[in-house]
């Protein structure tokens, strides 16, 4: 899972238009659509959405972030 997240981050960073790359992934993947809905529910703040979702599932968001970085 962590490797997949890192791969996605690399793809978005390498794209000439990161926003378009991200939107392409969202349209191709129904799970990403759920993520985008959660982001919208948290004022378009992806970090707030991530933290809320992690905490709702009993996970420490800072621990997850330390594994990704």
pLDDT digits (tens, 9 = 90+) for 35-51: 888 888 999 898 999 89
Our count of domains for the chain comes to 1
pTM over 0.75: no
Q: Provide the 8-state DSSP code for 69.
A: -
Give yes or no for residue 1 having a pLDDT over 70.
Answer: no
Between CA 1 and CA 10 the distance in angstroms is 14
Between CA 23 and CA 26 the distance in angstroms is 5
Q: For 59, list phi and psi in degrees, rounded to 5.
A: -110, 150
Contact 35, 47 (CB under 8 A): no
Domain of 42? 2-68
Q: Reduced to 3 DSSP states, what percent helix, strand and coil does the chain have, rounded to the nearest 5?
A: 80, 0, 20
């Amino acid at each position: 899972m962590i490797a997949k997240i890192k791969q996605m981050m690399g793809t978005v960073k390498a794209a000439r238009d990161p926003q378009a790359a991200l939107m392409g992934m969202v349209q191709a993947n129904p799970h990403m659509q759920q993520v985008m809905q959660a982001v919208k529910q948290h004022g378009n703040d992806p970090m707030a959405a991530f933290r809320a979702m992690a905490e709702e599932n009993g996970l420490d968001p800072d621990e997850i972030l330390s594994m990704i970085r």
